Amino acid sequence: MVLGLLAAVLLSPTAVTAKTSGRNCSAGCGVGFDYFEIPYPFGIGPECSLPGFNLTCATGPGNTSVLLLGNPSIMVHDFGGSYDHSPTIGASIGYSVEMAAGVRDYSIYWEAPGKPFAISGSSNMSLFVVGCGVEASLFIGDSDVEVGNCSVMCVQEIMERLPQGLCVGIGCCYIDITVNLRAFTLNISRTGHAARFHSANICCDTFFLYWETVYNSMQPKANCPTSCGNVSLPFPFGTEIGCFARYELYLACNPGPSPILEMPDGSVVTGISIDEGIVRVLKLDPKGFLAHMDTPLYAASGEWGMVKWVVDNITCKDAILASTEVYRCFFNNSNCVDVIDDNTLEHVGYRCKCTQGFEGNPYLKEGCTVGHGGHGTVYKGILTDQRVVAIKRSNIEARTEIEQFINEVCILSRVNHRNVVKLHGCCLEVEVPLLVYEFISNGTLYDLLHREQNDTLSPLPWEERLRIAVEIAGALTYLHSAASESILHRDVKCMNILLNDSYTVKVSDFGASRSIPIDQTHLVTAMQGTFGYLDPEYYHTGQLNEKSDVYSFGMILLELLLRKKPIFENENGEKQNLSNYFLWAIGQRPLEEIVDERILGEASAQAITATAQLAQECLSLTRGERPTMKEVEMRLQILRSSQVIGPRARIDEVPRPHCEFVKTNRIASSVSMAACHHGSRQYSLEQEFVLSSRVPR
């Protein structure tokens, strides 16, 4: 097995020659680093840096200068950035694993260069594996705790046809890194018996490497200053690293006979009230303080005024009338307060001032009801570190609700996937326990598909429908096959598919979910689910297995294809089941008369036919005739990758970073991998690959 350093070019440790550091801390590192300002505690040479922060200036092929940190696999690109409000450096790592004949399994172990460092788990980063006929599994350190896994398949000579774009499991796959990693183990195994394996280099954006010791933002480090002069300094504000929850909440305490507490712009802080949501200041920019920050937490109010907390830049009237309830303040527990900049008299946003809070919960400062359901109430809350979260308060007096509460904690504590809603924690110090989730801002897939605004439905391009289907299928595949025990969702429906601010899928509501040991084929349970999505065989036999989720997914696929509700009114005004209607209509009418007319000008006839056929298979009355979620996901991936995909401007204008494949000479029997940001993941495949669907994940 040959290991090497992979960046824009493929290097190896033997190709890098270290230079003499010397004692001059201002010395450069070759012409290539004249633009770098290397900040302390980093430095070239032990006398210019703290232990563990020593850098090595090196020369690679073509006399190019590179800067290495500790482990020679880590190449530093820049300093001084921050991600998730912690100081970071930009870096990249990479390896090339040469596979030998007759050897099936390979393992790579990577460790951060020192205790202060960790790869960020919240920087939207993935580990990419490029090759053919291999499976890859990523573990935390040398433990058996899995971060994720993926598999790669391809046919002969596919690597010569790899274009720039999406990574969908054909020639390339990726593993999302969602936890901070100080070390990881990557296990690679062959899944096929082909004599030749191919590889391509990857050119990646830098990933983020924390150089701050990780700390719990809810509990700052010990001995943090609690005041500056005569001004109290409550958490989440702080004057030292480890004492504030976010960089925006950093304040400076200038020493002297009368210490002064200052904002980053020099405004003098005279008082802080966390409960009232204000910071009183002495001097303010007349146009408004911190108006251009990435996270606008504040709004200005006068020279001897205060910095006000702002939730969102809309009025209370708009918040109350908004079609999505995430903005509303319900008067049974809170009221809406418009926030006005007293200098400009301009409206800068609103905040929900709660009249009734969750007493006994020190983390929740304010919350607003965003929805009621049969199982309880969901609130929008702001934690003390200013994270916006969703808080679920169950109707705990019912025994079934207690069981579902415990079940949801048990299920979600084992799940880690980018398309499954994240459970932040469970608050038990209140009378009625609370579940705290990430807050998902764009409502449900049901809202997007079926809720009208001004008597019209929101535009939903064909590519977006395919992407949403792929992400739902990926999450269900993960639940069914990525853990030691399969997890059956048991209530897959559009109302339980949430969409975040970039319209990325988040599967939610695991109160009814069940685990099945790997050696069991099904469970016998009391029937539970939603009419219209319920597996007919489960309804009649009470036997639950993964094919029950497949049936429910088939209904979602129909909703995306036809844009009709599971129970809809037909031309005669009668209620009709969407599945029954589709299975009847597909044999009686042309497909273009059945599907949503809005997609006819965007999708090819072959794509519509393939999607309809897949939905028909998922909705088979007999489970044995339904595909697995693995097969469904792969077929949708191949279908999506064969489309000509344009920009997502109509419902999502957020740009995405991009990773490009760099074509190089093929290396026989090898696999390459590298770490980088999420990019767009698209292949333009030859038509014959459409049938290559039944491959291991």
Residue-wise DSSP of 522-568: -EE----S-TTTS-HHHHHH-EE-HHHHHHHHHHHHHHHHH---SEE
- Among the three residues 186, 210, 234, which one is the final residue of a domain in this structure? 210
Instruction: Answer yes or no: are the C-beta atoms of 43 and 25 closer than 8 Å.
Output: yes
Domain that holds residue 616: 447-641
Distances (CA, A) of 158 to 171, 199, 382, 520, 583: 7, 10, 49, 37, 37
Residue 88 lies in a domain: yes
Residue 305 lies in a domain: no
- Among the three residues 641, 659, 677, which one is the final residue of a domain in this structure? 641
pLDDT < 50: residue spans in the chain: 1-35, 82-85, 157-165, 195-206, 211-219, 284-297, 299-304, 309, 311, 323-334, 354-367, 522, 644-697
Give dist(CA 281, CA 268) in Å, integer: 5
Give dist(CA 301, CA 339) in Å, integer: 10
Q: Is 596 a catalytic residue?
A: no
Residue 524 lies in a domain: yes
For residue 576, what are the contacts with CB-CB under 8 A and spacing of at least 6?
A: 567, 568, 569, 570
Distances (CA, A) of 597 to 95, 585, 590, 636: 48, 15, 13, 21
Annotated binding-site residue? 392:
yes
For residue 259, what are the contacts with CB-CB under 8 A and spacing of at least 6?
A: 228, 229, 253
Residue 265 lies in a domain: no
Residue 552 lies in a domain: yes
Residue 500 lies in a domain: yes
Categorise residue 396: left if φ over 0, alpha if ψ from -120 to 50, beta otherwise: alpha
Residue 93 lies in a domain: yes
The one-letter amino acid at 604: S
545's tokens: 């297995």
Q: Tell me the sheet residues that pair with 350.
A: 312, 338
Count: domains in the chain: 2
pLDDT of amino acid 87: 58
Residue 19's CB: how many other CB atoms inside 10 A? 14
Which of 169, 186, 183 lies closest to 105 in space, CA to CA?
186
Catalytic residue among 447, 491, 509, 596: 491
Distances (CA, A) of 481 to 148, 485, 499, 506: 11, 8, 24, 18
CA–centroid distance for 631 within its chain: 24
> Residue 461 belongs to a domain with what CATH number?
1.10.510.10
Instruction: Answer yes or no: are the C-beta atoms of 91 and 83 closer than 8 Å.
Output: no
Q: Tell me the sheet residues that pair with 351.
A: 337
- Among the three residues 170, 194, 210, which one is the final residue of a domain in this structure? 210
Q: Can you list the alpha helix ranges (DSSP code H) found in 619-681?
A: 629-641
Q: Is residue 225 reached through a cis peptide bond, with omega within 30 degrees of 0 on the bond before it?
A: no
Which of 336, 322, 549 lies closest to 442 in space, CA to CA?
322
Pairing of the two strands 43-44 and 54-59: parallel
Instruction: Answer yes or no: are the C-beta atoms of 146 and 139 closer than 8 Å.
Output: yes
Residue 215 lies in a domain: no
Q: Tell me the sheet residues that pair with 438.
A: 389
Q: Roughly how many angstroms between the first and final C-alpha of the chain, as a whole number?
A: 24
456's tokens: 């019209």
